Every structure is written in C-alpha cells, then in structure tokens.
C-alpha cells in the first residue's frame, strides 16, 4: 500500500506541543500553517517562523491543509472543532490531547465530516506555552496513534510516516486502550504524588517531615507541582479508566498495610516489593528486535499491545516494527 505523507499540515493551538510541532515540521521543510486564538502567541510564533505561516483565523489556517492537528486543551476542543467544520474541512484530523475517548466522541459530534485519528505524544515538560516550545521535544518519545475499527489503515500509515519522521516512535492503540494505559502511567502517579504531599505536610508533624524530605520525596512528588487545573482536567477527563486503576492501587497499599502486621513483616514485604523491583529495574525496555513488514491492522494492534512501536514507514507502506523483550528478573 503506497503511503503519501501529508503535504501541508495545519496546527491549531500553539502551546508547548502545538508550537514544538509547528517548528519541527517547518525545520523539516514541510509546508505548515499555524494558528492560536491568542494574538500574543501568534505574534511570538511569527518571530520564530516565517510570518506568512501564522494565520489569523481557523478558516484561513485549514484552507490548504491535508492534515489538521488539533493542539488545544480538552475544554477548548469542542468549540474549535465547530470552527473547523464551519470552515468546510473534511480531511484527516488528529489531536495531541492526553485522553483519547473523549476526543473521539467530540470529533464525532462536532466535526463528523473530517476523518479523526487521535494522537498523543508522550512528551512534555513542567513548562507550558509557546515560549517553552522546542523543535526537539519529540525526539525518541512514544506517540500514540489511534487505530480504531473505523480508521483507514492508509490514514494511520500517513500519520505514522509523519511522526516517525519527527523522531518519535509511533504506537498503535485503540483510544480505550490508550486511556487505560495513561491512567496507569500518568494520571495515577499524579494522584499519588499529591496524596504523598498532603500526607507529609499534614498537622503538627508536617514541618519536620518536609524538612527531612530528600530524593524519594523529591522525585515521588515532583508532579504535584503541576497546575491543579491541568491535573484535574486530565484526571477528570479520564475518570472511568482512572477509577479502575485507583481501585487496584488501594488494594495494593491495603495489602502492605496488612503485611506490616505479619509476624515477620520484613520477609513478607520483601516478597511484596520484589515483582515491582523486577519490572522497574528493567524499565524502559530496549527494543529487542526490528522487523520490516507489510503493515496489517491486526499486526499493528498486536504490536502496540505487546509494548512495541513503529520506527519508520516506507513509501510502499512497509513499516519497521520494534518489539520489546519482557522484563526479566535481575539479581536481587
């Protein structure tokens, strides 16, 4: 299946992710148009990029594009999708928000004539906004691209060709599998970080505890410094998946609580800590093997579920798949 990468990419929303993407695409010589609702952000973007590449309306931005990247925060997605529809856009549409199920539903409701294919680059920094944008932000990051039953395989390959061209690893997954995964590796860690801070600082014993905090507290609570509105939007937007993960977490912590009452808690706890140690000590996984294969839907989904990714897409549609070895037990 021949793959034609997008020729003209429009980016709507020029924050950290949208701004970084626009700059990287421009650096690669790909035709781009960018837009942000904030005039000051547009002005800042015009300082960095050729001024003609920043448009003053959604309609002007999408006019010549064959790929639209929605890079606005989740609460703004519905209204911007309405503007995209009003502009008559019916091509390929992706996004970069941290939850995919809600975006899928918003796209179907507000912009049903465009072909939505959700995306999520697992990249970010504590900073936000165009001023923090960085064309190298996506180097080596995992970039989820949703492969739903209704997704055309050649659309998926076009987007995978684009994001692997930026240096990212394209991970095929359904929106629901994505949302379950990020509840585990991002949203639950944010909840736990805040709970640790609240517990550490509570009551009369708080000041001494905070004064003694060192490496494990610093790293374990780093993301509690994220703006509460951002964290709440992320967690609240993925409530169903996060519920399941928090229930499992409550069970795990309750189990430790019980093991502390065992006659020999140290032995019991050693057993409890060991599986997590085995997994974490071999994370992140190194790619175990790479295969050049003709892309098939079922194979791509199986690759993503197995923790693998696509590293490149050739013009004939053949892809390079990298799989990962399962974690093996290092010596205790």
Within positions 169 to 198, which residues make up the interface with a copy of itself, using CB under 8 A? 171, 173, 177-178, 180-182, 184-186, 188-198
Whole-angstrom distance, CA of residue 252 vs CA of residue 249: 5
Phi, psi of 309, deg, nearest 5: -160, 170
Bridge partner list, 9: 32, 67
216 interacts with a copy of itself by CB under 8 A:
yes
250 interacts with a copy of itself by CB under 8 A:
yes
Only one of the segments 30-38, 77-85, 249-257, 310-318 lies at the binding site for a copy of itself (rule: CB under 8 A); that segment is 249-257
289 interacts with a copy of itself by CB under 8 A:
no
332 interacts with a copy of itself by CB under 8 A:
yes
Residue 18 token pair: 């949208």
Check: CB of residue 191 under 8 Å from CB of residue 246.
Answer: yes
Q: Which of 48, 269, 314, 320 binds a copy of itself (CB under 8 A)?
A: 269
Only one of the segments 11-19, 34-42, 107-115, 256-264 lies at the binding site for a copy of itself (rule: CB under 8 A); that segment is 256-264
Output 10 or 193, the one with its CB closest to a copy of itself: 193
Only one of the segments 34-42, 43-51, 63-71, 264-272 lies at the binding site for a copy of itself (rule: CB under 8 A); that segment is 264-272
Question: Which CA distances in Å does 276 have to 31, 96, 252, 258, 279?
Answer: 46, 30, 11, 18, 5
Whole-angstrom distance, CA of residue 30 vs CA of residue 22: 9
Binding to a copy of itself in span 28-87, by CB under 8 A: none
Output 91 or 213, the one with its CB closest to a copy of itself: 213
Check: CB of residue 148 under 8 Å from CB of residue 175.
Answer: yes
Binding to a copy of itself in span 135-174, by CB under 8 A: 141-142, 144, 171, 173
Phi, psi of 121, deg, nearest 5: -75, 125
Output 52 or 208, the one with its CB closest to a copy of itself: 208
Residue appearing with tokens 């005039």: 39
328 interacts with a copy of itself by CB under 8 A:
no
Cα–Cα–Cα angle for 319, 108, 15, rounded to 5 degrees: 70
Q: Which of 267, 288, 296, 329 binds a copy of itself (CB under 8 A)?
A: 267
In the complex, the smallest distance separating the C-beta of residue 331 from a copy of itself, rounded to whole angstroms, is 10
16 interacts with a copy of itself by CB under 8 A:
no
In the complex, the smallest distance separating the C-beta of residue 7 from a copy of itself, rounded to whole angstroms, is 29
Check: CB of residue 62 under 8 Å from CB of residue 87.
Answer: yes
235 interacts with a copy of itself by CB under 8 A:
yes
Whole-angstrom distance, CA of residue 311 vs CA of residue 163: 9
Binding to a copy of itself in span 103-132, by CB under 8 A: 122-124
In the complex, the smallest distance separating the C-beta of residue 232 from a copy of itself, rounded to whole angstroms, is 4
**Is the link from the previous residue into 284 a cis peptide, with omega within 30 of 0?**
yes
Strands (E), 179-275: none
- The conformation of residue 294, written as its DSSP 8-state character, comes to E
Bridge partner list, 115: 92
Only one of the segments 39-47, 58-66, 128-136, 301-309 lies at the binding site for a copy of itself (rule: CB under 8 A); that segment is 301-309
In the complex, the smallest distance separating the C-beta of residue 144 from a copy of itself, rounded to whole angstroms, is 7
Residue appearing with tokens 């928000």: 97
Q: What count of other Cβ atoms lies within 10 Å of the Cβ of residue 46?
A: 14
Binding to a copy of itself in span 303-322, by CB under 8 A: 304-309
Q: Which of 8, 128, 272, 318 binds a copy of itself (CB under 8 A)?
A: 272
């Amino acid at each position: 299946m021949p793959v034609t990468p997008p020729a003209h990419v429009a980016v709507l929303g020029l924050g950290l992710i949208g701004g970084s993407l626009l700059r990287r695409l421009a650096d690669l010589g790909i035709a781009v148009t960018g837009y942000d609702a904030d005039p000051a952000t547009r002005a800042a973007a015009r300082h960095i990029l050729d001024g003609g590449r920043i448009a003053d309306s959604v309609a002007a931005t999408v006019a010549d594009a064959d790929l639209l990247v929605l890079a606005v925060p989740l609460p703004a997605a519905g209204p911007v999708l309405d503007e995209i529809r009003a502009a008559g856009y019916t091509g390929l549409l992706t996004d970069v928000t941290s939850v995919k199920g809600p975006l899928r539903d918003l796209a179907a409701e507000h912009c049903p004539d465009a072909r939505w294919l959700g995306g999520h680059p697992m990249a970010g920094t504590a900073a936000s906004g165009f001023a923090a944008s960085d064309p190298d932000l996506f180097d080596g990051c995992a970039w989820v691209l949703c492969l739903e039953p209704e997704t055309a395989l050649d659309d998926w390959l076009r987007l995978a060709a684009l994001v692997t061209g930026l240096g990212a690893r394209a991970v095929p997954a359904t929106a629901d599998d994505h949302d379950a995964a990020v509840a585990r590796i991002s949203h639950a860690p944010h909840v736990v970080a805040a709970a640790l801070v609240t517990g550490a600082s509570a009551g009369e014993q708080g000041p001494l505890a905070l004064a003694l905090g060192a490496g494990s507290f610093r790293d374990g609570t780093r993301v509690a410094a994220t703006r509460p509105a951002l964290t709440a939007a992320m967690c609240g937007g993925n409530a169903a998946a996060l519920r399941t993960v928090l229930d499992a977490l409550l069970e795990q912590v309750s189990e430790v609580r019980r093991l502390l009452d065992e006659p020999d808690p140290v032995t019991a706890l050693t057993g409890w800590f060991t599986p997590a140690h085995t997994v974490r000590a071999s994370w992140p996984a190194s790619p175990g093997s790479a295969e050049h294969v003709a892309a098939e839907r079922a194979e791509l989904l199986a690759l993503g579920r197995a923790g693998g990714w696509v590293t490149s897409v050739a013009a004939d549609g053949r892809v390079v798949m990298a799989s990962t070895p399962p974690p093996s037990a290092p010596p205790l």
